[in-house]
Amino acid sequence: MFCDKEFILILIYLFIVSHVYSNERQFSTQKRLQYKNHVKQMFYHAYDSYLKYAYPYDELRPLTCDGYDTWGSYSLSLVDAIDTLAVLGNNTEFARVYTLIQNLDIERDINVSVFETNIRVIGGLLSAHLLAKRMNVSVNSTWPCTGPLLDLAVSLADKLLPAFDTETGIPYGTVNLVWGVPIGETNITCTAGGGTFLIEFGTLSRLTGDPKYERAALKALKGLWSKRSSINLVGNHINIQTGEWTAYDCTIGSGVDSYFEYLVKGAILFRQPELIYMMNEYIKAIDAYMSDGTGWFVYANYQQGRKTMPLFASLDAFYPGLLTLLGKLDRARETLYAYHTIWRKYGSMPEFYNLAQHDCAQGREGYPLRPEHIESIMYLSKATNDDTFLFMAADIFDAIESCCKTSCGYTSLKSVKDHHLDNRMESFFLAETIKYLYLIFDEDNFLHSNGEYATEHQTSLGSCFLDTGYVYNTEAHPIDIGSLDCCTSSFIDEKSLNKNEKNLLTQEQMRWLGNLLLNQDKEELSSILKRNYSLLTCSSLTFEQRFSLYGEILT
C-alpha cells in the first residue's frame, strides 16, 4: 500500500510522461530542420573522409582511414554520391565531380559485376547527366539527348550487353570490360541480378533513340516472368541458359528484391501497364504463401508454396516502399511497423533475423549501413504525412550517429548484438542511406515533385517538360520522368522498329488485355482499365495525373 506522498508522486510522473508522449506525436518544424541539418553534416563527414583518405579507390575503410577497390575501380563512392550532392544543393561540388568522372577508365581488362555496374555506375552517370542543367552545369543545345556522362553510360552499357546473349535473355552475372563474358562463367544468376536493368537501359534507349538497351532489359524481365511456377512464385537463382531454377525458395528480399522493384518502377517510368499486372500477380501469390498475417513475409517453396524458412532479411525492408508505390498503404504500414521492431531491438538491422528463434541468424548479425528500411520510411512518410515515420527516421539517424561514426567516416557493424565495428563504408551509404534520410526531413526538396510544376525545355524535336517527377533506381539514383520524352518524339517509330516488331508490341498489349478478359470479371476489368491502363498510357494527361510516386497509382 502506497503512502499518500508516494501515490501523488506516481500520479505526477504518469502525467508528465503522458504529456510528453502526446506532444511527441508531432514532429515540430524546428525539429525537422535540425535533423535535416544533422543529416547534411553526416553526409559531408562521410564524403569528405572518402575524398581525403580513399579517393580514387572505390570505397573508404573508416577504421584504418584508407581506401580499397571493390566493384571495378570506378572511384565508385564518387559516382554514387554525385546526385546526393544535387539533393543537398551543392552546385559547386557537383560541377567539379561532373567533370572529374568524365575521365573514368572503362577500357580495362577486368571482370565486373553486370548488376552492380549497372545500378551503381550507369545509374549514377545517367542521374548526374539528367541533373546537370538544374545544377547549373553548362550543357549543349542537344542536351539531354547528348552529353559526356550519357556517352560514358552508353559505352559502359555496350560492354554489358554481351552478357544478355543467352537462351533466356537473362544475363550472365559477370563480364570482362575488354573481352565480354569470361570463359567458364557460371550459368547461374540470382533473380534480382537478371531482372534489374529496365530503369537504366530503358533510360538509355529513350535518350539515345536506340531501342537495343530497353529490348534487352525487357526480354530479361519477361524471361523471368515466363519461368514463374504454376502458383506465380519465382525461385531466387536460375540457370540463364536452360531456364531451370537452381534455388527453389521464393523471398521478397535477398536475391529477388529489385526484380519486383523494377516491375513497378518500370511500369511508372515507361508507361507499361503489363509490368504492373505481373507484379500484382506476384503480390497475390506472396500474400497467399509467404505472409504470416502479421506483417512478416517468410521464405516459401516456389512450386508448392509451403513455407520453408522463418527468416527476415534486411533487404526485405524495401517491400513496404513498393507497396506504397502501389497504393497499398495499410499493408505497407503494417509491414514497416513490424520491421521497425527489429531496429528498436538492436539499434540497427541485422542481415538476417530468425522469426522463430527471435534472434539474429548465426553468422549474419552484421549491419552494413543498408538503406532499404529508410527508403520505405521515406515513401510512407510522403504518402501519409504521418509524423510517426519522422520519429522512425530520427531513431535510425541517432543510432547510426552514435554507433557507426568514426573519425574517418561511418562504418558497418560486424554484429548488431554488441555493435562491434567493421571496417567498411559501402558506396550506397552516400548514394542511398543518407539521401533517403535527408529527403524524409527535407519536405520541399525538388525530388518530391509531383508534376504540378514543371520546367519547359526546348529540343530539336519540340518542347518537353523537366522536373515532372522522379523514379529512383535501386541505388537511389533519380531519373527525371519528363526527360525521357525529350529525345524521341515516339519511341516506337519507323527508324527503330520494323513492321513485324511493331505488330509484336501490339500483340503483347492485346495478350495482356486478353488475359484480363479471361481472368477478371467485368466489373473488376473495368476498374483495372480505368485505374491502371489508361492512367499509365494516356499521353494527354498531365504528369501529375499520370505519375504519382507516393501511393496513388492504383488508388
> Known catalytic residues?
116, 257, 351, 372
Give the C-alpha distances (Å, rounded to integers) separating 388 from 27, 28, 166, 325.
8, 12, 47, 19
The residue among 162, 152, 115, 116 whose CA lies nearest residue 132 is: 152
Q: What is the DSSP string of 327-359?
A: T-HHHHHHHHHHHHHHHHHHTS--SEEETTTTE
Q: Round to whole Å and give the CA distance between 502 and 508.
A: 10
Q: Round to whole Å and give the CA distance between 374 and 390.
A: 10
Rounded to 5 degrees, φ, ψ at 326 are -90, 5
Q: Has 384 been labeled as part of a binding site?
A: no
Q: Which amino acid is at 395?
A: D
Q: What number of other Cβ atoms are within 10 A of residue 143's Cβ?
A: 21
Q: Round to whole Å and give the CA distance between 549 and 239.
A: 34
What 3 state SS string does 151-199 have? HHHHHHHHHHHHHHCCCCCCCCCEEECCCECCCCCCCEEEHHHHCCCHH
Cell of 172: 550472365
8 A C-beta contact, residue 132 and residue 96: no
Q: Round to whole Å and give the CA distance between 247 and 188.
A: 10
Q: Round to whole Å and give the CA distance between 533 and 274.
A: 8
Q: Round to whole Å and give the CA distance between 96 and 91.
A: 9
In the three-class reduction of DSSP (H, G, I as helix; E, B as strand; rest coil), residue 395 is classed as helix
**Cα torsion angle, 322, 488, 150, 162, sign:** positive
Residues in the chain: 555
The residue among 119, 150, 118, 155 whose CA lies nearest residue 132 is: 150
Q: Which residues are known binding-site members for Ca(2+)?
A: 474
Q: Which residues are known binding-site members?
A: 474
